[in-house]
Amino acid sequence: MLNQKISGLIAAPFTPFDENGELNLELIPQYYAMLKRNGVKGAFICGSTGEGVSLTFEEKVAVMTAWASLTKEDDAFILMMLLGGTNIKECQQLARLAEQVGVDVVSFTSPSYFKPAHVDQLARCCVEIASAAPNTAFYYYHIPVLTGGNFQMIDLLKKIDGMIPNFKGIKYTHEDFMDFLSCMNYADRKYDMLWGRDENMLSALVLGNKGAVGSTYNYAAPLYLELIDAYDKGDVEKANALQQQSIDMITLLGKYGGISVGKAYMKLIGLDCGEFRLPVKNMSAEQFELFKNDVNKLGFQTFCAR
């Protein structure tokens, strides 16, 4: 079982599809090699960026197996699998399979249709799912903007502390720095807190954060590694400027349609992952040309992944 806290960048890979919208698993070895080459320490698969909610159970297993076949013997690369958050039984089934194929971490997010009435119910869900893979590290995935699970994570930690032997921490994709810091400091910093907002990385570093999971690390990891290095060396002005570059890059996601724009960035670094599935909107060919012009103005080629 993964016992150490995670440090460095964990990318949240896009699930690659072909021109017909079917899985393109043949691209995953190239994807994995690119992440390694650019200093990324792991992958959080089938999450929001990976369209886990738009994949069938069989597709999730196929994606997980393809990644695990590459990473199982790679001790320097951490594979994290989002099990889901709506169907508890399916999450348990995936957790068992994840443990069998050698995934390092399984993760679960708050149910978003039948929502937990209070944090006690959410804790019960975590207990049920984590116990299905007792020899695999378990992280909760906090992303209330998508799930509606607007609980304080410090309350969840207090509720489950000592209840789940393989519970290791939280992937925290929210802007509540008060709650985040309280979680970091809880029980003598017992739990691992992974920051999930790429555009606020510098603020998280100031609080002492060491590990982060994000979508833009897929195509701009060099920018964030330089940001971390600048901060570690005490060059806050340089770190500030690099964070602004990150913000400018991320702003284009909003301008051109949201999460699907990440796959457009991937095309620009030479990995065509296809389009997002419905109901997500993809940009048109005309919009893509405008997008490329805006990206060039950012100097993307000077800090993008290779």
Residues with a catalytic annotation lie at 141, 171
Q: Is the peptide bond prior to 279 cis by the omega test (within 30 degrees of 0)?
A: yes
For 258, other C-beta atoms within 10 Å of its C-beta total 14
d(CA 40, CA 304): 13
Name the phi and psi angles at 104, rounded to 5: -80, -35
Tokens 């990976």 belong to 50
- Measuring CA to CA, which residue among 136, 39, 19, 120 is closest to residue 83? 136
For 32, other C-beta atoms within 10 Å of its C-beta total 22
* Sequence-separated contacts (24+) of 225-231 with Cβ below 8 Å: 225/9, 225/39, 226/303, 227/201, 227/202, 228/201, 231/202, 231/205, 231/206
